[in-house]
Amino acid sequence: MTISTHEVEIAETIEYGGVLIFNDIEIADQFEDFLSEQCFVFFNIKIDKNKVSFYFGRASCLPKIREIYNEFLATLN
C-alpha cells in the first residue's frame, strides 16, 4: 500500500516496513528534528540525490506513520 501527496510518499515494503519519502530535503531535515526532539521515534534515514527516506521498520503501520506526519505538519503552521 502507498499513500502519496505532492510532498511525500508513505509506503510499506516487505524488506523495510514503513517508509516515508520526502522530495524536499529542507522539509525532510525539519521532519528529522521533529522525530528526534518531539516525537522520540526510532528510524533509519537514507539520503539520496533528490529525496530523503525515513525507514520506520517492519513493526510500523501506514496509519501511524501518516499520524506522525500530520503532527509534524501541524508544527509548521
Q: Pick the residue with more confidence: 46 or 7?
A: 46
CATH of the domain at 16: 3.30.70
In this prediction, residue 33 has a pLDDT band, given cuts at 50, 70 and 90, of: very high
The confidence score (pLDDT) of residue 77 equals 73
Is this structure's pTM higher than 0.75? yes
pLDDT above 50: residue 27? yes
In this prediction, residue 69 has a pLDDT band, given cuts at 50, 70 and 90, of: very high
Please name which of 64, 45, 63 lies closest in space to residue 55, comparing C-alpha atoms: 45
Place of cell 502507498: 2
Number of domains in the chain: 1
Residue 15 domain boundaries: 2-76
> DSSP readout, 23-65?
S-HHHHHHHHHHIIIII----EEEE-SS-EEEEEETT--HHHH
